[in-house]
Amino acid sequence: MSKVLVRFAIAVVVLGLAALAVLVAASEHPSAHDHSRTSVAIADPNFADAIERARTIIDRHASAFPSISVAVAVQGHIVWSETRGLADIGTSRLATARTRYSIYSASKAITGAIAARLVEQGKLKLDADLRAYLPTLKGPLAQAKVWQLVSHTAGIRDYYPFEWFWVSSKHCATTQAALRPFVDDELESAPGTRYDYSSYEYVLLSAVLEHASGETYDQLLGEIADLAGMTTTSRLPADESDLAVRYGEGIPSGFIAHRWIDNSCKYGAGGLWSTPEDMARFGAALIGGKIVGPAGLARIFTPFKTSDGKPTIYGMGWGLGKAVDGHRYAAHSGGGLGGRSAIAVLPDDGVSVAIAANFEGPRVVDDAAKIGAIFAAK
């Protein structure tokens, strides 16, 4: 049996077990729409009108999640932080500003900043072949460039159907282990020729960053956290008491806990836990010049181009090319079983917004941008 078929079979088994867990547990906690339980950590009175307007946006989606949390930073300071609902339905544990969520692909914004910082330090070259940092790579992938990983143009596939469940049932202590599911597979396109979003490219980028710096990804993340004043962001939380339980959709209704998920193999592609306050601090530190200088910041927020000169919609870890109410913004969403997140920054206005929830639910990235525009117009 081929390696792909074995992975598919394992994924089907895992999915079956998850479905069984849903059926068994569905009757335990059939619903959790208790958003009367609101925790307001910060509400700067200077932004009272903006906060009230932003609340109406959160209200649209609040009932879709067991809990939802939002934070806004303006000119480097958190001016609004509010959380609604339950971090743990089973114990009725209230979500607070310190509750950490799986932010999934919003992790890429932080990973992009790590890469930009290493470029600024002279430790990473965007035009270098990947084999310069990972000599064991084979075939066309070895000759792909670092910038092609950063920009999702390296040609690496994304998850096969159901493979996400297989990857999410494993634990990875090293980036080398995280590469095994895909690193020897054929590329789907020649490097640099096509933009095709792939989380595996940022898993491989995590390994490249380690070899370029001589540090682990977790150490590199810690350096960014120190620069930004982040205190709750990590890949492998030592303390699980403040984690939001990840929920899926129950049968016939409500939410079901998915405690089996392990995102450690996703590394900088989608493996981080964080809070909206920490994410907003990160965005504020980035656009405030605390992580990279002006040239690095310009590189982060400039779309890459494919080899035929066509611009993509992606910079270094950020989706680009959009504006709301006349305000230019960069953003990244995140979503997977048991988590939904978004981070948006308005560089010209000094505004950073983050949202997180513990159910995949509706996308909230556009909401984060709209909230940013409200505070920018204050």
Interacting residues of 369 by C-beta distance below 8 A, sequence separation 6+ = 322, 324, 329, 331, 344, 346, 353
Structure tokens at 61: 């989606």
Q: What share of the chain is helix, strand, coil (3-state, %, to 5)?
A: 40, 20, 40
Q: How big is the CA angle at 207 (ends 113 and 127), to the nearest 5 degrees?
A: 65
Query: How would you label 95-109 residue by residue, b for 16+ Cβ within 10 Å and e otherwise?
Result: bbbbbbbbbbbbbbb
Task: Name the nearest CA neighbour of 345 among 285, 294, 273.
Answer: 285
Sign of CA dihedral 226, 119, 167, 344: positive
- DSSP class of residue 280 equals H
Tell me the per-residue pLDDT of 166-199, one tens digit each, with 9 for 90 and over.
999 999 999 999 999 999 999 999 999 999 999 9
Does 252 sit behind a cis peptide bond, omega within 30 degrees of 0 on the bond before it?
yes
What is the pTM (predicted TM-score) of this model? 0.92
Q: Give the confidence band of 21 by pLDDT, cuts at 50, 70, 90.
A: very low
What letter does residue 258 receive in the DSSP assignment? -
Average pLDDT over residues 288-300: 98
Measured in degrees and rounded to the nearest 5, phi and psi for residue 32 equal: -155, 40
pLDDT at 33: 53
Q: How far is CA 331 from CA 123, 282, 283, 340, in A?
A: 26, 13, 10, 14
For 82, 265, 291, 305, 372, the CA distances from 294, given in Å and listed in that order, are 32, 33, 10, 21, 22
Q: What's the pLDDT at 324?
A: 94
Locate tokens 């959380």: which residue?
A: 83
Model pLDDT for residues 96-126, shown as the tens digit of each residue: 999 999 999 999 999 999 999 999 999 999 9
Please report how many Cα atoms fall inside a 13 Å half-sphere around the Cα of residue 94, on the Cβ side. Answer: 12
Model pLDDT, residue 25: 43
Kindly state the tokens that stand for 74.
């303006």
For the stretch 68-83, pLDDT in tens is 999 999 999 999 999 9
* Complete domains list, the chain, with CATH: 3-376 (3.40.710.10)
Cβ-based neighbour number of residue 125 at 10 Å: 15
Helix (H, G, I), strand (E, B) or coil at 21: helix
**Cα→Cα distances 292→89, 108, 267, Å:** 40, 16, 22
Q: Which residue is listed with tokens 């592609």? A: 269
The pLDDT of residue 250 is 82
